[in-house]
Structure 1
Amino acid sequence: MKLVRYGPPGAERPGVLDAAGAVRDLSAHIADIDPDGLAPQRLAELARLDVDRLPAVPTPTRIGPCLGRVGKIVGVGLNYRSHADEARMPLPDEPLLFLKPASAVSGPNDPVLLPPLSTTTDYEVELGVVIGRTARQARTSEAMGHVAGYCIVNDITERTWQLHRGGTWDKGKAHDTFAPIGPWLVTTDEIPDPHGLAMQLCVDNETRQRASTGDMHHRIDQLIAYISQFMTLHPGDIITTGTPAGTALGTDTDHYLKPGQTMTTTIDGLGTQYTPIAQAARPTQDGHAARTWDT
Structure 2
Amino acid sequence: MADLLSASRRREIAALLDSRSDVEPADVLLEHAATIVDAGDIWGAGLNYRGHSQDLNTQQPSSGPGSYLRPGNCLIGNGQPIELPSQSRRVTAEAELGLVIGTECKNVRRDEWRSVVVGVTAVLDMTAEDVIRENPRYIPWAKGFDTFCSVGPQLVTLDEFDDTALRAIQVSTVRNGEVVSSAPVSDMKYDPGYLVEYFTAGRTFTPGTVICTGTPGAAVINSGDSITSVVDGVGTLSHTVK
Per the TM alignment, residue 161 of structure 1 is displaced from its structure 2 partner at its CA by 2.8
RMSD: 2.9
Aligned counterpart, 1:163: 133
CA separation in 1, counterparts of 2:57 and 2:158?
34
**Is this contact kept in 2: 1:130–1:150, CA < 8 A?**
yes
User: Structure 2 length as normaliser, TM-score?
Assistant: 0.84
1:120 aligned partner: 90
**In 2 relative to 1, CA 83–127 (structure 1 residues): closer, same or farther, beyond 3 Å?**
same
TM-score (norm 1): 0.70
SS at match of 1:194: helix
Q: What corresponds to 1:79 in structure 2? A: 48
Structure 1 match to 2:173: 201
1:129 is matched with which residue? 99
2:193 counterpart (198, 208, 221): 221
Counterpart among 56, 61, 78 of residue 24 in structure 2: 56
Q: Deviations over 1:13-53 (max 9, x none)?
A: 27xxxxxxxxx96x9xxxxxxxxxxxxxxxxxxxxxxxxxx
Q: Label 1:92 to 1:119 Cα distance change in 2 as closer, same or farther (>3 A).
A: same
Paired residue type of 1:207: V
Corresponding residue to 1:91 among 38, 50, 60: 60
Task: Give the 3-state SS of the residue equivalent to 2:53 in structure 1.
Answer: helix
Look up the SS of the partner of 2:241 in the other structure.
Answer: strand
1:177 aligns with 2:147: yes
Q: Which has the higher contact order (CA 8 A, sep 6+)?
A: 2
Q: Counterpart in 1 of 2:74?
A: 104
8 Å CA contact retained: 2:96, 2:123: yes
Structure 1: runs of 5+ lacking an equivalent: 15-23, 28-53, 249-255, 279-295
Matches within 5 A, 1:268-287: 268-278=232-242
User: Structure 2: which 5+ runs fail to align?
Assistant: none
Q: Percent identity?
A: 29
- Equivalent pair of 1:75/1:242 in contact (CA under 8 Å): yes
| Structure index of larger Rg | 1
- Maintained 8 Å contact 1:63/1:109: no
Q: How many residues align?
A: 230
